[in-house]
Amino acid sequence: MPADAIITGTDFVSIPTTDLDRSVAFYGDTLGLHMSVHMPERNFAEFETGNLTLNVLNPVKMGIGEFAPNRNHISLHVDDVEAARATLEQRGIAFMGDIFDTGVCHMAFFEDPDGNLFMLHHRYAPRAAA
């Protein structure tokens, strides 16, 4: 990292919702993520993925904008995409298409109840040097 770097990392990613209670159930119960903060009176909750916090919030109720789902996939690391997909399908998640194999990783695509896009991801080969 350059000595004069201003930005040193990413602390969280915001995930918009129209229904905080439904999202809390989805991220906590369905995905099985640890909820580290729950402030319904302030219209948000936070879930830990291991290296990044997902900040689930209602932008309309917070007065910070209109609702628009994130249409860029957030990649969630798993050790085994096929096994994780099977578990999540049993919990009611519908996936988009088959597991995708890029030649270096496996991916499976789905969305949350608000239409925010996600993928299960596992890299099984090293990154190629640039």
Which candidate, 76, 130, 65, places its Cα nearest to that of 107?
A: 76
Q: CB-based burial of residue 38 (10 Å sphere; 0-12 exposed, 13-18 middle, 19+ buried)?
A: middle
Q: Are residues 57 and 23 in the same domain?
A: yes
Number of domains within the chain: 2
Q: Which of 65, 84, 117 is the last residue of a domain?
A: 65
Pairwise CA distance, residues 47 & 36, whole Å: 6
Pairwise CA distance, residues 125 & 115, whole Å: 30
pLDDT by 10s per residue, the chain, length 130: 778 889 988 999 999 999 999 999 999 999 999 999 999 999 999 999 999 999 999 999 999 999 999 999 999 999 999 999 999 999 999 999 999 999 999 999 999 999 999 999 999 998 776 6
Residue 127 structural domain: 69-130
